[in-house]
Chains A and B, each alone.
Chain A
Amino acid sequence: MKKLMRNAVGAIGIDLRLLGMIGALVLLWIIFDLSTGGRFLTPRNLFNLSVQTASVAVMSTGMVFVIVTRHIDLSVGALLGFIAMVMGTLQLNILPEYLGFGHWSIWIITVVVGVLLGTLIGAFQGWVIGYLTVPAFIVTLGGLLIWRGAAWWVTQGQTVAPLDETFRMLGGGVVGTLGDQLSWAVGLAATIGAVVMMVLARRRKSSHGFKVKPLWAEYAMGGIVTALILGYVLVMNAYPLPKGAAKRYAEAQGIEYPADGLFISHGIAIPVIILLVVAIIMTIVAQKTRFGRYVFATGGNPDAAELSGINTRMLTVKVFALMGALTAIAAVIASARLGAVGNDLGVLDELRVIAAAVIGGTALSGGIGTIYGAIIGAVIMQSLQSGMAMVGVDAPLQSIVVGVVLVLAVFIDIIYRRRAGL
């Protein structure tokens, strides 16, 4: 039976580590759901969970590249705070002066400036690491202090609020969702896209005369993917807007608000869409571009990469620039979600991001890591935290548990790798 299962799993082509992580996540969810009396696995909580995860998950995809190349980035939390502060000031105090308050282009300019700033700062840190050969740990530890201080300086410590209304949509919340119809459309498009990719990959493989998976395995995989995507849309659409927001929505649409309330779906939150797009792009970059291939080759053997003609110094600059850009995107999500930028935005995020990547199977020794792993790692971290908060675990105990889980996860990963002979 066990062997049969293993063969089946092997045929479908999911690796065991992924299966293990998903298993751990599901187990976690069930435990929290039981101990909160069914409050954890509700559309509302899952919606909140997905929104809360987005910012850290976006950064963790970049951290995979950083760690795979045997570096580390401790500055992401502080950098997130600094970029968010600059974006907040830009959209609130600077741009309205020239464009007028609430101008439609404010959010676009803000995001573009934020991402450029993040890329530039990341590239600079990467340059110091790659060309001046100061260890990444030191450079980004310095960065942690520098950018946190710089964030304070932008507004002399004042909180910037309220942020531009359109900008706030990027953080989820009541207005920042797709609604039911658009969510279904996105879900369907994603399903079709996934299935088409699978068919094309199979065709390409058999055109080269390679062995392909048995057809039933392909169908099973397609079925699982479809069920996951559409199931997610279903759950998100099952979470209605709260009364007040539904009323405002009805008024805005010119519908009469019925006395017994109105069921208007949240649908998928915009930050989750952003995360999805980032995840797809980063996966393609990791698996299908030369840059991604060189990232992994350099992590596996820097000397070999260098001797193969790869410019590993420039590669370091690019990896950190990418990390900076993703930090800026995370800054957009985090600040838009709160609708304000305070001085403590992003504090300790660097540790959450690194933990997510590491729980997701990224090896600190370099060369190994996956984008999907890091995202699942981020979901596990966030589930742990919000689950324990819901159960009512004391805050100090929460961090103890998270710490233990982090070490345990890496230990299990080491054991797994040893057994698998990797």
Chain B
Amino acid sequence: MPRAATLLRIAAIGLLVGFLAAPQRFAPLFAPLTQYGAPPIYDQGNLLSLALAHLGTVFIAAAASTLVAVGLAILVTRASGAQFLSLSRTLANIGQTFPPVAVLAVAVPLVGFGQTPTLIALFAYGLLPIFENTVAGFQGCPPAVIEAANGMGMSARQRLLAVELPLAMPLILEGVRLSLVINVGTATIGSTVAAKGLGEVIIAGLLSNNTAFVLQGGLLTGLMAILLYDAMVMLERRLLRTVPA
């Protein structure tokens, strides 16, 4: 089984890299999907640079939401911030009901078209899974371990850095993974407000009635999402092995 998974992984990476490096090679595959001699491969921009811009947006947003969400989760799980906990939970729940398109649409009047509203929407949407998981991770730390840390004379700061964060790490990473995968898909919607990314290809296909464009845009984003998911799972496993249970 593990060998099959490795083979699939290599095939997926190969497909993604191959397509981005030499998209025209795949033209015959997509040609049957076009009508009236329309180009089978997106030709209004470089697919590789679009994919990199897409990933860049996703990573910047995910990094920002990880920093803020973990920071907030640390604050509300300390004794001094405990009274914010139930409210921030409620807020996280409310936030999750905001459709990303709505966040995008509401951000446009505030910051204009382009990359910024997309970053805001992805940032806001990525906060919640990470926050929820980090809080759950901290609350899941066994009280005996915390007491042992206190008994050893650790300061609150040392306890946080050396005990609680490592113990919560698997759950935090799971939250980051959820955010990343959701973001890869959601970032395509950003192209409706002129953000650079693979959504451009899909939207060009929708506008010119060219299914080949839609399919290759969707395939590329789907592949990136699956590979990111896979990479994060591997990272989680590796970290789990180094943290003694």
Asked if A pairs with B, the answer is no
